[in-house]
Chains A and B, each alone.
Chain A
């Protein structure tokens, strides 16, 4: 006779992806490569942030960029124009990157040749928040014109990020963006996240970000031994 049984599983849904992410993180640790997962809405300024960062850091830091954004052939060119290698991931219209998608791009690089690798994730505040790609730090970029309420509409992204960069600060005075409210909500959701106020256009805050990044890279390398 048929019987019904309850089987307890208690397994994290994305555990396969997280395992692969951990494997990538292990390789990055071994090679002393600081690995950033850069996430934002389309148009928030991911490529501008990369260009500004490259200009300030490429003398001391060996950088590479992995382009995951769907329409980023143009972005790849902008990065290469700055003298940094950019590898394109063929995403085929996906809404996010996961560890398995990043792995083939990493396989084309000799990790030991890089102090810093940045993945420009697909422009989306929902899906990329769910997936570990083996990053050392998740960096989220929000721009003033998007509004301070993005944290309420897409809370997971703000909860999982290690760094929140608020870009286009030059628009603050002409907008109704409530910076205090955003910071208050951030303090509840993710008090450990580092916040940088920035304008890639005027250069405000870019040096502070680069200084932080250099310290983090040095600490990561020390850990690699």
Chain B
């Protein structure tokens, strides 16, 4: 449900950027979403369609790049990557290189508007 509050904000931001460039319309919105974030693509699109009506973003596509969950090994510095499913199913995940369980989260919670493709 929080996708609703977030979508309105995204449309505001991208519309401002598009207006500043005198764009006729927004063709694509590119987002990066960390796999730890609870952002369901289906709801993002659903709310986007509702909120974008009558704005420069109406009809645009959304490209959501999912940033994987990445852990750094304290012992050997190797970085182990996993998707959300793998994270849920392996509570005892260890470093894929040295087997250490001393892992520290280093990415997977980003929530960013990367850019937009516009028609001038």
Q: A residues within 8 Å of B by Cβ? A: 2-14, 16-17, 95-96, 98, 126-127, 129-131, 149, 151-156, 159-160, 181, 184-185, 187-191
Is the beta-carbon distance between B88 and A152 smaller than 8 angstroms? yes
Please name all residues of chain A whose beta carbon is closer than 8 Å to the beta carbon of B6 when the two chains form the complex: 13-14, 130
Chain B interface secondary structure, helix, strand, loop or mixed? Answer: mixed
Closest-by-CB residue of A relative to B31 is A13
Residue from A13, A187, A188 in contact with B111 in the complex, judged by beta carbons closer than 8 Å = A13
Knowing A155-B87, A184-B92, A190-B105 are in contact, say whether A10-B112 is a contact too (CB < 8 A). Answer: yes
Contacts of A126 in B (CB 8 A): 2, 38
CB distance from A41 to the nearest CB of B (A): 14
- Chain B interface residue count, CB cutoff 8 Å, equals 42
Q: Provide the bound-state CA to CA distance between A187 and B105, in Å.
A: 9
Given contacts A14-B6, A130-B38, contact A7 B17 (CB under 8 A): yes
List residues 75-120 of chain B with CB under 8 A from any CB of chain A: 87-88, 91-93, 101-105, 109, 111-120
**26 A–B contacts, CB within 8 A, in A order:** A4-B117, A4-B120, A5-B117, A7-B21, A7-B23, A9-B14, A9-B17, A10-B113, A10-B115, A11-B112, A12-B111, A13-B31, A14-B6, A16-B12, A95-B1, A95-B2, A96-B1, A130-B6, A149-B91, A152-B88, A155-B69, A155-B87, A156-B36, A159-B36, A184-B92, A191-B104
| A8 and B114 contact, Cβ closer than 8 Å, known pairs A2-B120, A188-B103 | yes
Query: Which of B38, B69, B120 touches A3 (beta carbons < 8 Å)?
Result: B120
**Chain A, interface SS category:** mixed
Residue from A7, A127, A187 within 8 A of B115 (CB atoms):
A7
* Distance of A17 Cα from B12 Cα, bound (Å): 13
- 7 new A-B contacts, CB < 8 A, other than A13-B112, A95-B1, A126-B38, are A5-B23, A6-B117, A10-B115, A16-B12, A96-B1, A131-B5, A188-B103
Query: Is B37 touching A156 in the complex (CB atoms < 8 A)?
Result: yes
A151 to B87, CA, bound (A): 10
Determine the residue in chain A with the shortest Cβ distance to B118: A5
B37 to chain A, nearest CB (A): 6
State whether the Cβ of B24 lies closer than 8 Å to any Cβ in chain A: yes
Contacts of A156 in B (CB 8 A): 36-38, 109
Chain A residues with CB under 8 Å of B65's CB are: none
The answer on a CB contact under 8 Å between B114 and A10 is: yes
Residue of A nearest to B7 (CB): A13
Q: Which residues of A contact B116 (CB under 8 A)?
A: 6-7, 9
**B91 cross-chain contacts in A, Cβ below 8 A:** 149, 151-152, 181, 184-185
Residues of B within 8 A of A12 (CB): 111-113
A159 to B2, CA, bound (A): 18
